[in-house]
Amino acid sequence: MAEFIQHDRHHEPFVGEIPVPHGPATGDEHEHYPGPTPPAANSEQERAIFSYLTHPDDIYTEDGTYWADLPLGKRIAFINKTQNEEAKAELKAIGRMMKKDPLSPISWYFRNAILPGAGLGLEGYVLFSIGNLDPLFKSTWPQCWGKNATECSSNWVASVTYLEVIGIMVGQVVVGVIGDWIGRRWGLIQDAAIMFVGLLMITASWGLNLQGWVICYAWSLFFYGFGVGGEYPITATSSMENAVSSGKLSTRDDRLHRGRKVTSAFLMQGWGQFFNQALLIILMLILHHGDGSPPYSTVTTQWLWRLSFAIPAVGTLWLVYYRAYKMPHASRQLAAAKKKSNVTGYDFESLKATYSFFGGRLLATAGTWFCNDVFFYGNKLFQAQFIDVISGGESTVMTGWIWNLYNVIVSLAGYYLASLLIDNKFYGRKMMQQVGFLMCFIMFVVPAFHYDYYTSKAGIKAFQAMYFLSSFFNQFGPNSVTFLVAGEVFPTPIRASAHGFSACIGKSGALLASVLYNYIDTQTKFYVVPWFGLAGMLLTWLFLPDTTGLDLKEQERRWAYIRSGRENEYHGIAIHPKHLSLWERLRGVGKNYNPELDHKQKLDDIREDWAGKERARANMEAGGEPTGTEDLEDDHYTDEVHRYFRNETGAKVSYHGAVMTPASVSPAPASSSKSSTEAMNEKSG
């Protein structure tokens, strides 16, 4: 929605590529531009000129105080004012859109939520269809899926779930590395292509006997799962970096709606589950007699499950085309970060530094995802047994599917509420995840110790309510938040790798549930599962930083200091106690936070970036090759900034021994004449 709002805003910058803080000059670095330090008398003039870059009004007050530094009363007033103004601006934007074209909000949602999350939607459709089809297979082929199977090995039947989850885990790690090594775009295309071929394999799977078919089916799911696993790190990072549109990190939209962007794509997983379950019900009514009650013929079952996989294959083929030809800039932010660090290929130095500086964050993102997936996939795996309990043990396949459809609808409500509140500074990521884990713990631990009552006629309604509430709070909590923060709390060069690693450890929780649940009864599952919710809440509280309202540009800026070996000289908001975990605060990470020193450093960083752009312009006008480290097309400096720096440097900038004057420099576009989004739209369209 911001692309429509920002037409009414001036001086909205693109601030994304942060220069590495300069230290002693080396022979390979650009010579720092000459010029005296501005006198103290210019401090107010500097604040007026640079405030749109150093103190954006959506996170700073007029006097330059960061929102998290305000006393509680003033903080509440500031946050409410900012959020209310943003809500009004969005409503006005929607009104203008509808006045121009009544259907334009739908097309906007399609472009900004459905398309970015299409891969996850297709993944959710197929991934959870396996569990939905399981009771149908048990009813049709009891000699293979039953407890007393005679034609199939129980190990091969169980491997249908195991191989699917293992394929996902492998894909998450491998494609996460590919996303940081070769690029986001390649990962996006590769995942869609693998999922398309995997769907063809699943749809066409066959065997000389039932066990042969089960083996073919299981390995087809493993192949498909590899593509599914890759969707997690690639979709999260590309949505977060908004590579398709601007390739920049720091805009008002990023600060206020970054979480909503990512979760809007992620919640397509819920719609995938919904459409799968709805389609299975429709196909059952079409291909089977009456109300869908047993017995089920093998012909009906074969047609039903093969059609259910063939239909999403068409959408996946279209996704391959869309990603290959309509997403040319998906790797732009990663490429810019690598150029800043002078890295080609995989950034092993960033990976090593991440373990050193962000080890606690890795523990938080991986550990909480593990706890969540025991809940999330465990819930899915034993939903048929739960439905047997609440239906008195007389449920049919159709009954189970209808109950599951209700559960998916409740989950979708959780997905959307998470998207609505995940950027709210009063609630936000960390609180949402803690509350979600706590509620899941309560909703399972209560029936665990009063199982006989809640499975009786007197308590069954409360049992149903608690089960559905656990699904709601799982989405309105850890399932949505883990997907977002697993990439958000790490720097760009290894973001996909960290996300993929966290997701892989998370899926090991799903694997644990799928193995464990084969050996314990329903009541024991309720005894075991709650403690993963409690563990997830404690891991979140201790190790997860709260990035709600944090400008991601500041995370990249802090990373530049870390990469240059000057981490203790960074004083900005990325180490504000509000945005650090308890573990990081106990280790003293936030001790260097100092707004005044940070303001001076920001101005130095801006000077360095400006000088680099001016040198690059002079070099290109002199016939030289572009350095590749300055993005001249997205110059976010106003005319006032250019005049200030040129006056400060005596209208001269040194470029490797040459002297460049303003006459030799093409004037930079003033951001007051065009919003950043207008300039972006002109370039892309």
Give me the DSSP letters along 455-522: TSTTTHHHHHHHHHHHHHHHIIIIIHHHHHHHHHTS-GGGHHHHHHHHHHHHHHHHHHHHHHTTTS-H
Quote the pLDDT of residue 76.
96
Quote the pLDDT of residue 158.
84
Lowest mean pLDDT of 38-47, 387-396, 551-560, 652-661, name the range. 652-661
Closest by Cα among 37, 33, 53, 50 to 651: 33
pLDDT range class, residue 94, cuts 50, 70, 90: very high
pLDDT range class, residue 598, cuts 50, 70, 90: very high
Quote the pLDDT of residue 436.
96
Q: Using one digit for the tens of pLDDT, what is the confidence trace for 14-52? A: 333 344 444 433 333 333 333 333 333 356 777 788 888
Using the predicted structure, report yes or no on whether residue 536 has a pLDDT greater than 90. Answer: yes
Report the C-alpha gap between 31 and 27 in whole angstroms.
Answer: 9
Could you tell me if 589 and 609 are in contact, meaning their C-beta atoms sit under 8 angstroms apart?
Answer: no
Average pLDDT in the chain: 81
Measure the N-to-C terminal CA separation of the chain; round to a whole number of Å.
18
Quote the pLDDT of residue 445.
92
Q: Using one digit for the tens of pLDDT, what is the confidence trace for 227-269? A: 888 888 888 777 777 633 443 445 788 889 989 988 998 999 9
Q: Residue 11 CB: number of other CB atoms within 10 A?
A: 17
pLDDT range class, residue 624, cuts 50, 70, 90: low
Q: Using one digit for the tens of pLDDT, what is the confidence trace for 261-313? A: 889 989 999 999 999 999 999 999 888 876 677 888 889 999 999 999 999 99
Nearest 10 degrees: CA dihedral of 46, 47, 48, 50?
80
Quote the pLDDT of residue 71.
95
Sign of CA dihedral 101, 102, 104, 107: negative
Looking at residue 659, what DSSP letter applies?
E
User: Mean pLDDT throughout 437-460?
Assistant: 90
User: Mean pLDDT throughout 513-529?
Assistant: 84
Quote the pLDDT of residue 639.
84
Determine what percent of the chain is predicted with pLDDT higher than 90.
36
Quote the pLDDT of residue 27.
36
Q: Using one digit for the tens of pLDDT, what is the confidence trace for 473-501? A: 999 999 999 999 998 899 888 888 888 89
Report the C-alpha gap between 414 and 428 in whole angstroms.
Answer: 14
pLDDT range class, residue 635, cuts 50, 70, 90: low
Q: Using one digit for the tens of pLDDT, what is the confidence trace for 56-80? A: 999 999 989 999 999 999 999 999 9
Report the C-alpha gap between 484 and 492 in whole angstroms.
Answer: 14
Quote the pLDDT of residue 515.
84
Using the predicted structure, report yes or no on whether residue 387 has a pLDDT greater than 80. Answer: no
Using the predicted structure, report yes or no on whether residue 205 has a pLDDT greater than 70. Answer: yes
Quote the pLDDT of residue 111.
86
Identity of the amino acid at 266: F
Quote the pLDDT of residue 482.
94
- pTM summary value: 0.81
Domains of the chain: 22-47+551-685 (no CATH), 108-543 (1.20.1250.20)
Using the predicted structure, report yes or no on whether residue 331 has a pLDDT greater than 80. Answer: no
Could you tell me if 276 and 129 are in contact, meaning their C-beta atoms sit under 8 angstroms apart?
Answer: yes
Quote the pLDDT of residue 544.
96
Using the predicted structure, report yes or no on whether residue 186 has a pLDDT greater than 70. Answer: yes
Determine what percent of the chain is predicted with pLDDT higher than 70.
80
Closest by Cα among 139, 161, 620 to 381: 161
Q: Using one digit for the tens of pLDDT, what is the confidence trace for 124-144? A: 888 888 888 888 898 889 888
- Is residue 63 classed as helix, strand or coil in its secondary structure? coil
Report the C-alpha gap between 326 and 482 in whole angstroms.
Answer: 28
Rounded to the nearest 5°, which phi and psi values hold at 340? -65, -35
Report the C-alpha gap between 425 and 79 in whole angstroms.
Answer: 7
Closest by Cα among 148, 555, 215 to 357: 555
Instruction: State the number of CA atoms in the 13 A half-sphere of 318 facing the CB.
Output: 7
Rounded to the nearest 5°, which phi and psi values hold at 61? -75, 175
Report the C-alpha gap between 308 and 294 in whole angstroms.
Answer: 19
Using the predicted structure, report yes or no on whether residue 427 has a pLDDT greater than 70. Answer: yes
